[in-house]
Structure 1
Amino acid sequence: MEMINTENAAKPLGAYPHARRVGNLLFLSGIGPRSAVDNSIPGLEQDAEGNIIAYDIAAECHSVFANVKAVLEASGSSWDKMVDVTVFLTNMKKDFPIYNKIYGEYFSNVQACRTTVEVISLPTPIAIELKVIATID
């Protein structure tokens, strides 16, 4: 089993790799939209106490997809090799229509299996996280 980390995606928040290869399968840890450059969350506005004032689900979608792509490529895989995607949203009712539209733009040729679930919160003040399984030739 090979563990993969890349500087081109946001650093993991704990003791886990970006991805792990087992045979010809690649398992990505939960990947969020934090910037690989400065750890910021695109479109996020917080008050002095760290409460979310506003966030931009579209900006977070584009950023999380870029992070997933970076991990896939660092692992020797690619966007078109995804076979299963689990998406975690913190506000299904508000964010699903925008997320689903953007997802369709990125995944129209991939046709990976997908599960989307709502969660109360994620470890940082992000609105979306992806868990991916892909293949490696």
Structure 2
Amino acid sequence: MKKPISTDQAPGAIGPYSQAVDAGDFIYTSGQLGLNPQTGEFGADVQEQTRLSLSNVKAILEAAGTSMDKIVKTTVFLKDMNDFVPVNEVYSTFFEQPYPARSAVEVARLPKDALVEIEVIALK
């Protein structure tokens, strides 16, 4: 059984999908862009977009009754792999050891021409 998760503390879905889905023992988030949920505006640079993306993930997980320390896997989509180091600088402030497993990939384009998008899988 799956249950959609939604919060106004993160940007709403821009298509036919849920912000996250509760699937038993796990929460699966959709990719979160670096948007300010109050203004709908992107962060000014890749570091600010990373901070906003992970803050949006945090808000969604809290709405699902879990937290950042329960994340077991992240996927980071980057518009430019040259941003890997600045993204890591911000990313590292959101996690403690043991760090979640992670994939990071460069993509041709992200929704709304974002610089970064992050999705996670977390334990409940």
Fold similarity call, TM over 0.5: yes
- What is the CA deviation profile of residues 42-96 of structure 1, one whole-angstrom value per residue up to 9, with x for unaligned ones? 11xxxxxxxxxxxx11111111111000000001110100000000000102x11
TM-score, normalised by the number of residues in structure 1: 0.86
Cα distance change on mapping 1:69 and 1:16 into 2, 3 Å: same
Equivalent residue in structure 2 for 1:75, among 37, 40, 64: 64
Equivalent residue in structure 2 for 1:132, among 95, 120, 124: 120
Give the length in aligned residue pairs. 123
Q: 1:36 maps to which residue?
A: 37
Which segments of 5 or more consecutive residues in structure 2 lack a partner in the other structure? none
Q: State whether structure 2 residue 108 is matched by structure 1 residue 120.
A: yes
Specify the SS of the correspondent of 2:122.
strand
Pairwise CA RMSD of aligned residues? 1.0
Q: Percent identity?
A: 34
TM-score, normalised by the number of residues in structure 2: 0.95
Cα distance change on mapping 1:110 and 1:76 into 2, 3 Å: farther
Q: State whether structure 2 residue 109 is matched by structure 1 residue 108.
A: no
Deviation of 1:108 (Å) = 2.9
- Check whether the contact 2:46–2:87 (CA below 8 A) recurs between aligned residues: yes
Deviation of 1:8 (Å) = 0.2
Between structure 1 and structure 2, the one with the greater Rg is 1
Separation in structure 1 between the aligned mates of residue 15 and residue 92 of structure 2, nearest angstrom: 31
Which segments of 5 or more consecutive residues in structure 1 lack a partner in the other structure? 44-55
